[in-house]
Structure formats: C-alpha cells, structure tokens
Structure 1
Amino acid sequence: MAVFTAVSLDDLTQWIKQFPLGRALALQGISSGIDNSNFFLTTERGEYVLTIFENLRFEQLPFYVQLMRHLAERGIPVPAPVPAENGELVVTLHGKPAIIVSRLNGASQMDPQPVHCAEVGAMLARMHLAGRDFPLAQPNLRGLDWITATAPVVAPHLHEDEAALLRTEVAYQAQFAAGATYAALSRGPVHADLFRNNVMFEGDKLTGCFDFYFAGVDTWLFDVAVTVNDWCVDLASGRLDTARVRALLDAYHAARPFTQEEHSAWQPMLRAGALRFWLSRLYDLHIPRAAELLTPHDPTHFERILRERIAVAAPELPV
C-alpha cells in the first residue's frame, strides 16, 4: 500500500454521499506497501479503508472485490466491501477505480511465534476451501508469465551474480511448471501476498487478513509457500524456523490435508515464492513509480531467502 493519488476530506464531501456511511470525518494515508493508494477513513458510521487502484483497471477488479465478499459471506475474516447505494462495489474517485471496505480490528504481529503461525495456517486452509465454489477466474498476475517477461527488464540493472541467479531460477521454475507434478497440484483462488503486515491479531487470536489485490487462481501450495517464506523465516538470514514451519503446516494440514503431488512440489514451490517477491522488489527498486508516500522494500531480503531455499531443504509437509 502507498499513496500515489492525494485525497482530502474536501474531496470526499460529495463523493461519500453515494455510500450509506454518513459524512467523512477523518482521512489518513497509509504509507506501507507500493501498489495502491490507501487511506484509513472514519465516517459517522465507523472505521473503514478507502483504496484507490493505481494499476488495476475497472474490468480487472470484480475478481478481487467479489472474492472478498465471497469469503466474508463464508465466515473468513476478511474486509467486507461496502456497496454504493446503486449496488456497485467499485466506483470512480479522481478518475480511478476505488472501493471502501470494513476495517479489521487488531494489529499486525511482526514477531510471530508458533501459536500465531498455527492461526495463519488454519485460516489459510479454510480460505482455500471456502474459495472452491467462487465462480470468477483470473490468473495470478505475478505468476510465471509475469516473471519470465519481467526478468529480462530487471536483469540489466543487476550485478552479474544476481543476474545469473535470476536467469537460472527462472529457467528452473519454467521447467518445473511444465512437468506432470505441477499440473496435478490443487488449485483455486489464492491470496498470494499473505505477509505478516496483511494479517491482524488481538493477542494470540487472528482477527482477519486483508490486501487481496495480488489474488488470483494458482496452486494452493504456492500460497502456502509464500506464507511460510514470510511467517516462518529468520529475517536476518532467510533461514526457516522449524517450530514455526511445523506449526503453520500442521494447522493447515488439519483443515486441508496435503496431497502426494504437493509433497513432491514443496521444495520447488518455496523457491517459486521467493523468486516472485525477489523479482517484484527488484522491479520496484530499479523501475520505480512516483508516490506521495512510498516505502520500497529491500530486494536483498528475498535474494537471501531464495539462495537459502536452493541450498537447504525445508521441513517437509506433514503426512
């Protein structure tokens, strides 16, 4: 999240009237992240989040917004989109698509322990199961097609050892994705960005997750790998913490048992998750966009994680 499009309370005076929320009382930009303009919004009816989409087009947004509604209706703790009086969930603000969603209670847990990882694993499994009957389909827009197209754009900005790692891993993932094991993996809507700052806790109890704007249809195992690579990692070294890995995977497995194909694909998929975020951060660093509030992420963090996943086998999936 970031602020690329400036918005003031005066801008919302008339605009907010199309929602059943009363007057807008306060607005605060959210500086974390890099893709949309986000604001905490206080109205006469409560606390919400306003998002203006900087890259996604109107025709792309029904998947994300309807997925949140679908999951919320099935008891998954996610932000619920607020419809305008005409029933539309996505409306125009400053010429760009925008939505208002409910604001979750709690705070991000940035120093997770096994108990927090277990909560995340169980919730992720329930989310995957709840999405099985979601009628819309959209590919993961940061999947292998994006990776293979973006890597040559970023490579000229890198040192030779970094560029060599990038070329080698992209080729490895392309070869793996062409195989029978990958084709047999279970699929459905995935969050694809379930990092610590996208989940809320009150104490040890998970209260919700948000930021679905990288969601798409992909393998559920990729979603698990992305999550493990953030929640269960030592930030300084990129190494996995076995206790946290076990807690997250065991809780997930209890709700949705892993398949045999997923066991075979686990190590490559952890590498795929690391590659996706390393490349995204390289792209954002070397080919940046202007923003009023912008906090770019350090790509070397996921370079360390990728090198660690290549060198050291992670704890296996539970059976």
Structure 2
Amino acid sequence: MAVYTEVSFAQASELLSGLGLGTLRDMQGCPGGIENTNYFVTTERDGVPHGYVLTLFERLDFDQLPFYLRLMEHLALRCIPVPRPHANARGELVFRMQGKPASVVDRLRGSAAMRPGSRHCAQVGVTLARMHLAGHDFPLYQPHLRGLPWCIDTAEVVRGHLDAEQATLLDAEIALQRQTLPAYAALPRGPIHADLFRDNVLFADAGVEGNPEGGPDGDLATGPVLSGVFDFYFAGIDTWLFDLAVTLNDWCVDPQTGAEDPVLSAVLIDAYDAVRPLEAAERELLVPMLRAGALRFWLSRLWDWYLPRDAKLLRAHDPRHFERVLRHRAARKGPSR
C-alpha cells in the first residue's frame, strides 16, 4: 500500500464518476504495504458518503488481474466478507490509469487486530475455511505466483546478501520443499488468499451496521466480529493447507521472537477444522507447510529489503522476523494440533 504512482484528484474523480460511484470528496494515500499504490477515497451520492479503495497495480499486469478481482466478486456473492469490486458499463473490473491497471473496491468497516486473542483467531479460522469452500467452484485458474518455483528463483537473487548461517538455512529449506513436493501436489486445493496476515483482516464491534449476523458463534453481545478480509493480490490456485500455514505463521506467533503460541494455534486450527475437516495427509504435512510459508515470506522480505523500489510512502518489512519464525518452525514439531 505504498504510493509508487501519484494520482491526481481530477483523475480519480473522473474514474469514480464514470463508475457511477458519486462525486469525489476526499482522497488519501495509504502507507503500510509494499506491493501496490492504494488510495482511500470518499464519494458522495444523494448526500450520503461512501468509502472505496482505488488501487494501481505496480507489479501485476492487465492479464493477471481479472483472476483476483473476479475471485473477490465470487466470494462476495457467497457472503464472504471481502471488498466488492466495481465494474463499468461494459462489466469490466480492470481500468487503465497512468498507464497501469487499476481497480475500485468497497472500503470495509473495522480495524485490524494487531494483538489477537482466541476470539480473533477462532473467527479467522472459520472465515478461512468458509472462504476455501466458497471458492471450490470458482471457474478461473491462475497458479499461485509465489510458490516453490518463485522461492527457488528468488533464493538465488538474495543469496549474496546472506551470511553463511543464513545461506545454510535457506539451502536446507529449499531441499525440504523439493522433497515434499510430490505429497504436497496431491493435497486438496483451490483458490487461496496466500497473505492472510493480521493487517489484512478487519474486526468491528459486535452488532454494528454491516455485521448483522455477528461472529461465527452467533454471539452479538460481546467482543469483536470479523468484518472483512482484503488484499487478495497474492491469491492463486494452490493447496488450502499452505494458506492455513501462512495464516498460522502470522496470527499464532510471537511478533518479537517468532515463536509459536500453542494456545492460539490450537484455537485457529480447531475452528478451521470444524468447518472444513483436515484430511490425514494434510495433518501429516502441516509442519513442512508451516516451514514453506515462513520461507516464502522470509524470501519476499529479503527481496524488498535489499532490492527496494522507489515509493513515496514505502515501509519495507524487516526480513529477520520470518527468519526467526522459520528457525522456530524448523526446530519444533509444529503447532498444538
């Protein structure tokens, strides 16, 4: 969500008006991410304000984007709380702005839970499982672009920035993933989010407008309710277990040490399993997938840390966090379930 490409108020206003979304009243660049240019925009229709997110895609191209946006549309129609993309009169969801592909989606209510508890993790587990099941009949195909082939290629790009101990860790993990690949390829699969971190999930107060159903347990009386999942721009077709592992590696680890929180891990896995029961083969491969998820984000953060792109509001993430997560995952047998 760094701002790489400047968009003028007039340019944004023309696009939003053409989509029938009202008159632009406010526009703010969004710091905090590293892949795309995002603006929070507010329009007015019939005296009522409406919030949207305008995104310009810095790495993805026009051919790739329909998969992500149609997936979000598909999930929204199945009552998964994701941002709904807005189409023009021709039904197109991808537009051209500053020579780059762009989209406009609804801005979701709520805020991120950066210090999640059991209630947060339970709702994330339920929502992830529901999302996997809802996507099983999605008709489009695109491979997960940051799977093992990407990891192998990126390892060579960043290797020169590693010390001997880090290089040894990297080689061992790449070797493990190569060995795991045949069994991994046989696991249940479909569209995955692939980046379901704490800052990509929103929670709102129970019972607020936009959350009439409450949380997964139906309790409207107390606690936060998951109100949205966003940033699908790493999505692709891959194993659902990898998606679960990526999620566990963020929601259920200590942000300072990278060590697993076994209580939160058990809560999230049990909540997921109650909606989509894990197969025996998935349980057997959970530990290698936890390591695969940590490896993928260690490599992407190394890449962005040592080979940064220019961006007005860029905040690159420290790669040492996922190095610590990976070392913990490699040293332990895995989570509590």
TM-score > 0.5 by shorter chain: yes
Whether contact under 8 Å (2:202, 2:228) holds in the other structure is yes
Would the aligned equivalents of 1:266 and 1:316 in 2 still touch at CA under 8 Å? Answer: no
Partner of 2:107: 103
Shift of 1:75: 0.5
Alignment partner of 2:199 out of 197, 200, 206 = 197
Correspondence for 1:131 = 135
Match of 2:209 in 1: none
* C-alpha distance in structure 1 between counterparts of 2:235 and 2:249, whole Å: 17
What SS does structure 1 have at the residue aligned with 2:297?
helix
Match of 1:91 in 2: 95
Aligned to 1:80: 84
2:258 paired with 1:238: yes
Corresponding residue number in structure 1 for 2:318: 298
1:255 positional shift: 0.2
1:221: how far off?
A: 0.4
CA contact (8 A) 2:42 2:52 kept: yes
Asked if structure 2 preserves the Cα contact closer than 8 Å seen for 1:20 and 1:85, the reply is no
Q: Which amino acid aligns with 1:287?
A: L
Q: Following superposition of structure 1 onto structure 2, how do residues 1-319 of structure 1 map, counting pairs within 5 Å?
A: 1-45=1-45, 46-177=50-181, 179=182, 181-203=183-205, 204-317=224-337
Deviation at 1:316, TM superposition (A): 4.5
Name the stretch that deviates more: 13-22 or 114-123. 13-22
Provide, for residues 131-162 of structure 1, a one-character-per-residue CA deviation record: whole Å limited to 9, x for no partner.
00000011110100101111011001111111
Q: Distance in 2 between matches of 1:28 and 1:159?
A: 40
- For 2:56 and 2:79, the matched residues in 1 are separated by 26
Residues in 1 aligned to 2:303 and 2:13: alpha-carbon distance in whole angstroms: 37
Q: Deviations over 1:173-227 (max 9, x none)?
A: 11111x3x32321100000000000000014210010000000001000000000
What's the TM-score, normalizing by structure 1?
Answer: 0.97
RMSD: 1.0
2-side partners of 1:85 and 1:293: how far apart? 33
Is the 1:267–1:314 contact (alpha carbons within 8 Å) kept by the matching residues of 2? Answer: yes
Q: Distance in 2 between matches of 1:162 and 1:212?
A: 30
Q: Deviations over 1:273-303 (max 9, x none)?
A: 0000000000001111111110100000000
Structure 1 stretches of 5 or more lacking a match? none
Matched residues in 2 for 1:15 and 1:81: separation?
A: 14
Deviations 1:219-263 (A, max 9, x none): 000000000000011111111111111110111000000001001
Q: Share of identical aligned residues, percent?
A: 56
Runs of 4+ displaced beyond 6 Å? none
